[in-house]
Amino acid sequence: MGDVSERSLMVCVVLSFSAGVLIGWHGNKMRRRFLDWRKKRLQQQLDATQKKLDLA
């Protein structure tokens, strides 16, 4: 650990933190997109089921 300068260590920590934030932000964005898609799909299934019940 003696041959690693404090500046390079700080740069590595900042880069690692930035990468984690970026990956977390993108993951949350993808999760939100999936949840919106699932909500829309379930709503369409509910509408179709209600239409079938109304016709029966």
pLDDT of res. 2? 62
pLDDT of 34 reads 98
Nearest-angstrom CA–CA distance, 19 and 9: 15
Largest CA distance in the chain: 79
Nearest alpha-carbon partner for 10 in 18, 21, 24, 22: 18
CA 36 – CA 30 distance, rounded (Å): 10
- In order along its 56 residues, the chain shows pLDDT tens digits of 567 788 999 999 999 999 999 999 999 999 999 999 999 999 999 999 999 999 87
pTM of the entire predicted model: 0.68
CB count in 10 Å sphere of residue 16: 10
pLDDT, residue 1, reads 54
Alpha helix (H) ranges present in the chain?
Answer: 6-55
